[in-house]
Structure 1
């Protein structure tokens, strides 16, 4: 579905080649400045780059903005929320064209319930906390590509979506991502919590200074020997039942 061929945006990205299949939740990890946000922006079609990105065997550069908005939704790391627009109005701006009004309403309520927004739909954006605003943004981009409303959708691109979310809200986001991917869609997520990646991602792309160090199944990439050199921290891998944990070693 998605293929990256020698994608570069010097000095932030250097020759990235990888691919993403339908139904997979992929985490991009790496230290600050590794190129995670830049890579997501390139895949979203928002930054120029050398090389090629193909979506459905067609170069990304060949799609119009309107076509891309049907195929993918992108959550940036930060976005201003000083508008006096109400929450439901902002979310409605992201509804897919030609979707049935009744289906849109049902999906908005479904997403709002999962993200604990039902009592905030009439609140002005300017009166939201940081965590509330993040959940509103998430509801909007899920609406844009939710499969029952938008059969053309393929991909969610999320830049640090867990920002400002508490544990319960992070769990709700995990459930929505699983539902999205279970319907044959792909989600690519920039992440910082290594153990969250270890537990939830199907695949991992490990970046360092714009270079793709490793890409593949989570169990293969998230090995101490792969991530220690990238993060310059020693790790131990512990297993408890079916769960595995990466624990940084104390440095004397």
Structure 2
């Protein structure tokens, strides 16, 4: 879905190269000031950058594929043509993908906003609104989708004044608002979800329910790129990790391969160790920072 080549933002990130496929969940890990937020803003199309980012908006692909479906009353000659097309499937698929691959900087925000959301760390509202009014301003949905409400328990907040909510409650609302913005794309597995520390200030129970929701959304084909400070979230939930330090990528790839003690100690300049916990089904390992 996204291919980054030599992407840089002066003074913040340098020479980032990534190939992010649809359905993957990438977690960005790194110390404060490593460039995580800057990279997320670039991937969202909200930041000027040097280098290249190619994007294949799957929403566009699915719309085109739907319009190209043959009718049930096609003639025999059409069937012959269809058979030939099937025999050339590899070539045509490659051509189709290339046709719809675009430079991220060339896509208007109006097109991006149909399938891409960006949850930032800082939020400012100039007016005192209820949660319900906030949703009516920023989303086109009349109702909160059940998976969002199940994970974030938004219904219990819906009539409350947003400015009177706790920090964690406000974060739940903002996360729900972003997901609702692109919910039609999410339902078809076409969304790009860019989330900057989406779990900050949330209770542990809501954090785990949110991570489980993200996992289910990725299983539909949606792509997730998020930052986090919890190594174990990345280890047990995300499919891929990018380790950022000083604006440069230290390591990237499948989470289980990237999150080694050696890589983490290089990243954070601190010692870690593994602990194991067994249940009736499996043994899971957890990364903990050493106190010595």
Question: What's the secondary structure of 1:61's corresponding residue?
Answer: helix
Measure how far apart 1:71 and its partner are.
Answer: 2.2
2:192 maps to which residue? 155
Asked if the contact 2:167–2:201 (Cα under 8 Å) also holds between the matched residues in 1, the reply is yes
Kindly provide the CA deviation profile for residues 86-110 of structure 1, in whole angstroms up to 9, marking residues without a partner as x: 21221233435xxxxxxx3454455
2:285 maps to which residue? 244
2:151 maps to which residue? 114
Question: What's the secondary structure of 1:143's corresponding residue?
Answer: helix
Distance in 2, Cα, partners of 1:10 & 1:149: 33
Measure how far apart 1:80 and its partner are.
Answer: 1.9
Question: What's the secondary structure of 1:70's corresponding residue?
Answer: coil
Distance in 2, Cα, partners of 1:51 & 1:199: 32
Which structure: greater helix fraction?
A: 2
* Structure 1 spans left out of the alignment, 5+ residues: 97-103
Distance change >3 Å, CA 92–CA 111, structure 1 → 2: farther
Kindly provide the CA deviation profile for residues 109-165 of structure 1, in whole angstroms up to 9, marking residues without a partner as x: 552343112122122212211111101101111111224676484210010111110
* Structure 2 spans left out of the alignment, 5+ residues: 57-100
Distance in 2, Cα, partners of 1:147 & 1:238: 41
Distance change >3 Å, CA 218–CA 193, structure 1 → 2: same
Asked if the contact 1:87–1:124 (Cα under 8 Å) also holds between the matched residues in 2, the reply is yes
Distance change >3 Å, CA 105–CA 13, structure 1 → 2: same
1:100 maps to which residue? none
Measure how far apart 1:248 and its partner are.
Answer: 2.3
1:142 maps to which residue? 179
1:39 maps to which residue? 39
Measure how far apart 1:189 and its partner are.
Answer: 0.9
Asked if the contact 2:13–2:39 (Cα under 8 Å) also holds between the matched residues in 1, the reply is yes
Higher mean alpha-carbon deviation, 231-240 vs 141-150, is at: 141-150
1:48 maps to which residue? 48
Matches within 5 A, 1:15-164: 15-56=15-56, 57-81=101-125, 83-96=127-140, 104-108=141-145, 110-147=147-184, 151=188, 153-164=190-201
Distance in 1, Cα, partners of 2:152 & 2:288: 30
> How many residue pairs get matched?
244
Distance in 2, Cα, partners of 1:46 & 1:52: 14
Asked if the contact 1:145–1:153 (Cα under 8 Å) also holds between the matched residues in 2, the reply is no
2:245 maps to which residue? 208
Greater C-alpha Rg: 2
